[in-house]
Homo-oligomer: A and B are copies of this chain.
Amino acid sequence: MTPLKNDRFLRALLRQPVDATPVWVMRQAGRYLPEYRAIRSKAGDFMSLCTNPQLACEVTLQPLERFDLDAAILFSDILTIPDAMGLGLYFEEGEGPRFRKPLTTAKDIEQLSVINTEKDLPYVLDAVKLIRRELNGRVPLIGFSGSPWTLATYMIEGRSSRDFVATKRLLYNEPEVLHLLLDKLADSVADYLNAQIAAGAQAVQIFDTWGGVLTPPAYREFSLAYMSKIIAKLNLEAEGRKVPVIVFTKGGGLWLESIAAIGCQGVGLDWAVDIGDARARIGDTVALQGNMDPAVLRTSTETIRAEVKHILGRFGSGSGHVFNLGHGITPDVPPDNVAALVDAVHEISVKYQ
């Protein structure tokens, strides 16, 4: 493999010195880019794009052509694993993901098999290999998965949810059934991330989008414990380098100490957390990723620069910060504002190194 030309992102995650704070954007390959929408309409539906390694590679690289980003992230969906388990993922335009066969009984859960990524999701690994080749050492490639809890909510509700009625009913009434599902998902996610690493992913992120809807003990038992299990199973060394793991629980700002203790190198922060407070709480053990409100990207260059300056100032001096949004970029953002963000981070952060 070609040596990395820009390893700021990996160095910051290991809290090694960097020349400027690295930056990438969750969902950076997405609908806000006209060139993405062009490929998307060519591909047809969203899953046709995800399952085509050439197209997935192409859209993964699109934001890097426009912006001076410090990492690429595999273009895929967090629900590939449940799809591989047979639930039948599809997307209703403007409605988000749906499953044709959501889990409705304990028997449905008993019958699920842990996935074998090589066999069940070859298109993801082909995309990782292709992207690595096309990146040619420009920046590192991030692999990712949804967390077991987050995957479970979609599998049980059959779609995105607000109150998680069915999932919480299972959690409180038949916790052992939910544990069986989460255990199979944790084994599947570990296999999936290990396969991505073997195929060339140089860092991995676990997206725990819905961990924040739980109580503290339920979060520990039904989300954090399974992310901890996954990390223990990962082979976090590849090509002679450490492969860092980032854990991002949206709405998890109260639980940063326990998230930082499960063996990850980076903890993702949403915008409800002050990054200076987060650093005081856990920044001597892990790197922090985040945490600008995505809504700021709908404003102006001046406002974006002011917010970047505020966040960098709150983090303070020294390495250990990967700049990002506190959640995914929204489709209505003007691409020039992403350029303004990336440039502001690189320029303003130099004095903090």
Contacts and interface: CB of A to CB of B under 8 A. Distances in A.
Nearest to A252: B272
Contact of A295 (B168, B212, B251, B274): B168
A2 interface: no
Interface stretch (A121-129, A179-187, A297-305): A297-305
A215 B293 contact: yes
How many copies of this chain?
A: 2
Contacts of A273: 216, 254
A3 interface: no
A149 B86 CA distance: 44
Interface string A111-136: 00000000000000000000000000
Contacts of A253: 253-254
Contact of A169 (B165, B168, B295, B310): B295
A272 B215 contact: yes
A172 B295 contact: yes
A299 B172 contact: yes
A173 interface: yes
Nearest to A211: B272
Interface of A: 163-165, 168-169, 171-173, 212, 214-218, 251, 253-254, 271-274, 277, 293, 295-296, 298-300, 303, 310, 330, 332
Which 9 pairs of residues, A with B, have the shortest CB-CB distance?
Answer: A168-B295, A172-B299, A216-B274, A215-B271, A253-B254, A172-B303, A215-B293, A173-B299, A169-B298
